[in-house]
Structure 1
Amino acid sequence: MPSIRSIALAVPRRGEDLLVFEHYDPTKNQRFYRPLGGGIEFGETAESAVRRELREELGVDLLDVRQLGVMENIFHGFGRDGHEIAFIFGCRLADQALYERDIVGEILDDAGTKVMWRALSSFTPDSPLYPDGLATLLRDP
């Protein structure tokens, strides 16, 4: 039975750039981008989850973590329907070397998934930033 998934996403910035991973949905023939993060486990706070996820995915600790908003995301991807409640966190990366290169590396627990800095203005309908509405949330003061 389908369920709503609670997730926590980190949005560290480098000027106008946002740290994202690049992925491809073959069912839509679409390349897309999303901040790193993932599911919130039972009994875990959203902030604890985003910190854990960034350690698991990139091997990095977060500094100055602050909640920017909460978004509801109802979508169709990879041939199925999805429904998420996404807690969005601004933060800084503890490893300053990650700010010095455009391609940061790959997600540690998902080899081949590239992590990169990408300008907020570069996302388009053909190469969107997910969840929908995140770019607007990040542009608004």
Structure 2
Amino acid sequence: MAEPWLHIVGIGEDGMDGLLPATRAVVEAAEVIVGGDRHHRLSEAVTAERVAWPSPFDALIDLLLSFKGRRVVVLATGDPLWFSVGARIGRAIDPSEITYHPQVSAFQLASARMGWSLADVETLTVHGRPVEQMI
């Protein structure tokens, strides 16, 4: 089986310093890094081609597939499989082509700071959802 070409990395506010050494090495070895402005600022010392989230966002999968064959890293906030871009990518690209590198999620961080058990917290998101769902 071939090595995955796509790595989806959760990154926190502590940037590269907060990543496990193996994950940091993956980011540092990337040829292409896809993410938002914030993600690029958190990893700015890494020399790789930088690509912003596409607009419209629905173009993401085609954008990623255009880089197949290169070492590609998608930077996401926290845990890329919890209300984040990782699940969306994983539904469209064969999971054997992807390695996920989670970080503490925003929900975990908020619960820890508040002293709340995450098991007792209802988690919802409006990120990427229609505004009408907030009502």
- TM-score band w.r.t. shorter chain: under 0.3
Q: Which has the higher strand share?
A: 1
Instruction: Give the structure with the larger helix fraction.
Output: 2
Q: TM-score, normalised by structure 2?
A: 0.26
